[in-house]
Structure 1
Amino acid sequence: MDRHALAVMEVAESWDWPPTYRIRASGDRDFKAVTPRLMSGFIAESQALGGTLVDQFWIVVGKCHPRLEENIKILRHTEFSSPLHSETLLFKGVNREAVNFSPIFQMGAELFAHLCVALSVMNLRSRKSGSGTPFSVNDFIAKDTDELLQMAASEGLGTRKRAALGALIFKRDGQSCPLTGLPFAFDPEDGVKPHLAHIIPYLVHNKPETIKCIAMLAGTAICDLVLEQLNGPGNLMLIQSDAHAAYGDIRWGIEARNENGMFKYIYRRVPYKTAKGPGIIRLRDGDQIVFGGGPEAARLGPGPNPLLCNVQLAVARTVRMSGAADIIAQMIDDGDDSDFPHVYIASPAFCDILTAQLQLAGGVLL
């Protein structure tokens, strides 16, 4: 059913959607143009991750017209042949003008708010908010690993805990940035300063709707893992400011591959480019990122949790591919010029969701 779903969303880009669903931030931005690509991206990524988003998609489509649910049952037992064939079967015997597409837009709006915004806007915002700024771990590197692990297991994410986590990542991955190869210097007057960067933004832990969407995207087992490791070494890396800014701009991500029982971290440009970069990053798309070069790698692991890396990359690719990144960036820029960008959409629930997420994004992220 995933091929039928992707086919329907492919042809949906040419449909005459109802003109009622719009986001306006410094000029009109038509959310209907983003929805088919957004849904297609998340369906494809969810299938790769082992999630159930495609199943929820068909449930939602079935709510758009009484006849569609029966046609979907036929699609389930029909081999895919072409996008046109999938579309024809889906709408067989249905007056297209009588179809209420609101449930599809509502699902797209929820994914936009709870995955695109929640898992990306916090990283986008980090370059402006001052979060992720360098910190001193000089007094912590010499501490015993057991003591650091105990400190890292404490609640919250205060200065001492961040320093302890930074020292653990230093002990796990080594003394240079895995993206640029430049050595870290903890003396504030000398060298490259390490930034503690989250793979998945930590503050999603108290956002139940975001957690629900992560479970739908990647499956409940991976979602449980996300919750378990959000505030620990498995969700962290030490990188220099240039690489962190590019990560916040959704310009690169990490693909983790399981090769013969061993995970290999692959650098991925978002969108795809073969040249080195962006900025001072020395890697090209497809190059290996070397984590686990520190003296305690055998104990602390080979790097950040591979599954968390793949979830974040899936969201980043969809955000870029669908055009959602441009909308989010504009909303943030408009939000910087005023208290909050004006958001207009037919569903009041979407306004509540998006307002909460953007307000959250304006706070401290690390």
Structure 2
Amino acid sequence: MREVSLGESVDLEHLEGALRQQGVRSDDDALTLVDFRNSRTFDVVALVFVLALVGTRIAEERLTRFRLPMAVAALETLRRHGFLDVACQVAQAPLPLLLALEDVERVSDAVRASPSTWTGDPGEQILQHLRHKRVLGLHMYRLSGEDARTAMVQQELRRWTEPLALALFSRHLKGTAEWDVARVIVHEILANVQEHPRASTAVVASDMALPRDAPQSALTIAVWDDGESIVETLRRGLVGRGTVRIAPPPTSDTFRIRRRGTGAGVADEKRTSTWSPVIASDDLDLLLASLFPGISNKVLESAHASDWSYDPFLGCGLYFLYHHVIDVFQGALDIYVGAIRLTIEAEIDPKSSAQYLVTLAEGLGTPKIRGNLVVARLPTHA
């Protein structure tokens, strides 16, 4: 049995480090055990990444099991986030099959001992209320057809327009457009999921930290789906048609591209959103191109490839998403595909003429995940 022992803080950096150090791959034949016994704090992105690994492994009939935190408060946090419920759904297995017997009993005890009163300032009390009502936390959806996909979007938009959530966003997000969390951020991420061929499962994860709780506090929204990856979809379009540029960009954004891991010795380069990938483009460039407006695998309805008049917004989903995350909310956007990670944020180097900084990372020992993971981080203030 291969074990992954996690430390006190389970965030994505520590999780990736533990997976690299212990040589765990998503295609391991051995039963993998994720050990949370010493864990006390959890970042929801790390939790949804674990679920993405579970989903990747279960597709190959490989089971992942868990040891739960020894600290009662940490166990309650996992339970409150809905991690155990969603893990059972993703693994398609009952809880006793995923846990040791003593941990199953401890989960039952934690439910019975769950506190009924909340402490802290009003903002923290609202956060606890939203977690209790599962406005924040983890939710899984089966994407069995168009109706199921539509229902997912409708349910998520209802959650993100909860009056107390909007009040909290209005007070603590750095952007002032609290309705845009649902109208743009959540909607565009889920619309992106709907476009991924062969997606059967989606997990939506979220949490919010206020500045007094964390130095880099943020509202975090992460969505993983198990469909065909963004890179695979664009690669198929390039091979089939020779281009995935279906419309000219409405504007031209400028990016500084920084590479980490494989190709890390390459100097930073500048690129604009008018750039289009070609068949020889690597996976990193294809993932980068997915940000650019007018890039899509959709087939032109017009018989003439040069006729751009039919839909100026086609292929603009991720473009609208990163503009709102960065320009409106002063945040950052991460996209994970396979073992590739793309991060886009505002350019802060005064010597650079770029508007945005894109970091592309590959070959750092991170296990491959099936499908796509999109993470929006919207900073909060006091």
After TM superposition, is the score higher than 0.5? no
Whose strand proportion is higher, 1 or 2? 2
Pair member with larger Rg = 1
* TM-score where L is the length of structure 1: 0.26
Which structure's relative contact order is higher, taking Cα pairs within 8 Å and 6+ residues apart?
1
Structure with greater proportional helix content: 1
TM-score computed with the length of structure 2 as normaliser: 0.25
